[in-house]
Structure 1
Amino acid sequence: MATNQIVARSLDEIKFWSRIMKEHALFLSLGFTYEQKQLIDEANGFISLFERIEEKLSRFTVNSDLRQVQAFNTEVYQAAAAIYGYKRKILDLTLRCQIRHNNFPLLIDHVSREAAYFANRLKELNEGKLAPTPDAVIEENVFFLKIMADHAKFIGHLLDPSERKLVDQAREFSHDFDQLLFQAVDLDYMRPQSETKPLLGQFLNQNKVSVASLRDFKKTARDLIEECRIKSIIHPLLADHTFREASRFIEIIEMFEASLSRT
């Protein structure tokens, strides 16, 4: 049973995050200026790399051999580590003002954190780690709450300033998720043990309600952008990208809730 779960979880993580990594490379490439051809070419190389990973993924099933899946995890881990290094290189060049482009430094840091998360998940799965500990539940929420807070900030800055109501809504979400993040960090320092399940349950439920609200806001924004009904410089794929990540966070919260209920 554990073997099947590791295979299924591995394939699910690769399916979700490989697409995210591919889109990160696209978004970064769109933000570079025309003279930054080398960085654009590197981004296109990562797009091709993760497309090959997606093609190879299609050959696996939940009944695939565990050793083959573990070998694939290692291969994808290397790809995630490579794109992480690429993103950190861009961030370093940006912060030292050696390159100037249209990607926010926070966005570059944001996408690098996601690459590190992806690589770490593959490493954990190859170590056979499936069931979350109370500490892991909190750490995972700290990670995703920061991601959600970042998304709200990006949306607020990429909407046209004339879209005042939507900009205000994005700022409110940014503030709310900053507060949830601080609360999660406080809880992380307290390090509640497994016997404090009611506290963790309340923590997860509060986050799920807030993330569902943000997800619905993102869905509305995505639909309006696709229909050209609001003014922004948000790529339609980026709008869908952030919506999928919010949906993913809700899935993870529900997985944690189910795990807590079994212990």
Structure 2
Amino acid sequence: MSNPIVERSLDEIRFWSRIMKEHALFLSLGFTYEQTQLIAEAKQFITLFERIEEKLARFNVNSDLQRVKSFNNEVYQAAVAIWGYKRKVLGLTLRCEIRSNNYPLLVDHISREAAYFANRLRDLNEGKLAPEPDTIIQENLFFLRIMADHAKFIGHLLDPSERKLVDQARDFSHDFDQLVFQAIDLDSMRPQSETVPLMDQFLDQNRVSVVSLRDFKKTARELIEACRIKSNIHPLLADHTFREAERFLEIIDLFDSHLSGGR
């Protein structure tokens, strides 16, 4: 029988290693031609996470727990390293030491995802699998902010002539900003003895909004791939944001299942 820590570890690495590799690609495409050192570093991270994906193929849900924990440690170091690189790029950008096509918020956004990935691996190696109510709120807050950022990026990368899509992206940005504030309020006021009804409502509201944004991203991805809308959005970036919305929905279902089991 498979170990749940093994199963979850491999799932996290499978999803987030691909995300990290794509982050490095997007950063490299956003640098200007003279920023050769930063481009070279980004390419090194692409290679690093490709190797991790190759190693991942040697594991399965029945793999030895200690072997998987050792792999988690290896991937953790890679996640911390790319987090450091992203924060370095952000610092250079905010100090105006470099000019690139990578928005500061985008660089901050992808560094938050690297930190999340590293923390998940650390928690799994410490045996932390089942979420607590505090964890549910904080993890949803993390993903709600990610979704709000995505809407902002889409709106800014669409051609201004795509007025209807720009308006839709702006509306999604506003909606998710409100959900972020709602999550912060819930985290502050949540009575310990009444977590389940509040959490049920919280997760249901998030699910409805994420499904709408996921469908918007799916449509945008298909239009971009078919060259039917004008934008600076790379087709892989459109697919990337769609996959992250799908991931959030999986996590909402995971938390919902955990709460149901605790009733």
Q: Which category of TM-score, normalised to the shorter sequence, fits these structures?
A: over 0.9
What residue number does 1:159 align with? Answer: 158
- The total of aligned residue pairs comes to 262
The Cα shift of 1:27 comes to 0.2
In the TM superposition, 1:1-263 aligns within 5 A as: 4-193=3-192, 195-263=194-262
Answer yes or no: is the 8 Å Cα contact 1:226–1:236 preserved in 2.
yes
Q: Distance in 1 between matches of 2:138 and 2:190?
A: 10
Q: Secondary structure at the match of 2:34?
A: coil
Distance 2:172 2:213 in 1: 7
Distance 1:254 1:213 in 2: 16
1:190 deviates by: 1.9
* Contact persistence 1:73–1:122 (CA under 8 A): yes
Q: Which moved more, 1:43-52 or 1:181-190?
A: 181-190
Give me the whole-angstrom Cα distance separating, in 2, the residues matched to 1:182 and 1:148: 13
3-state SS of the aligned residue for 1:99? coil
Distance (Å, rounded) in 2 between the aligned partners of 1:196 and 1:208: 18
Q: CA offsets per residue over residues 42-81 of structure 1, 9 Å max, x none?
A: 0000000000000000000000000000000000000000
Structure-2 separation of matches of 1:184 and 1:66: 35
Q: Percent identity?
A: 79
Distance 1:220 1:231 in 2: 14
**TM value normalised by structure 2:** 0.98
Q: For residues 172-211 of structure 1, give each alpha carbon's deviation from its aligned partner in whole angstroms, at most 9, with x where no partner exists.
A: 0000000000000111112442642011001001000100
CA deviations on 1:204-262 (whole Å, 9 max, x unpaired) are 01000100000000000000000000000000000000000000000000000000000
Matches of 1:247 and 1:63, distance apart in 2: 26
* In structure 2, C-alpha distance between the alignment counterparts of 1:244 and 1:15, rounded to whole Å: 12
Tell me the SS of whatever aligns to 2:173.
helix
| Corresponding residue SS for 1:177 | helix
Q: 1:29 touches 1:40 (CA, 8 Å); kept in 2?
A: yes
Long gaps (5+) in structure 1: none
How far apart are the structure 1 equivalents of 2:160 and 2:194?
Answer: 48
Task: Provide the secondary structure at the position in 2 that maps to 1:103.
Answer: coil
2-side partners of 1:140 and 1:256: how far apart?
Answer: 10
Does structure 2 conserve the Cα–Cα contact (< 8 Å) formed by 1:215 and 1:246?
yes
Preserved contact between residue 135 and residue 191 of structure 1 (Cα < 8 Å) = no
CA deviation vs aligned residue, 1:3-24 (integer Å, no higher than 9, x gap): 7100000000000000000000
Change (3 A) 1:26 1:192: farther
Residue segments in structure 2 that go unaligned for 5+ positions in a row: none
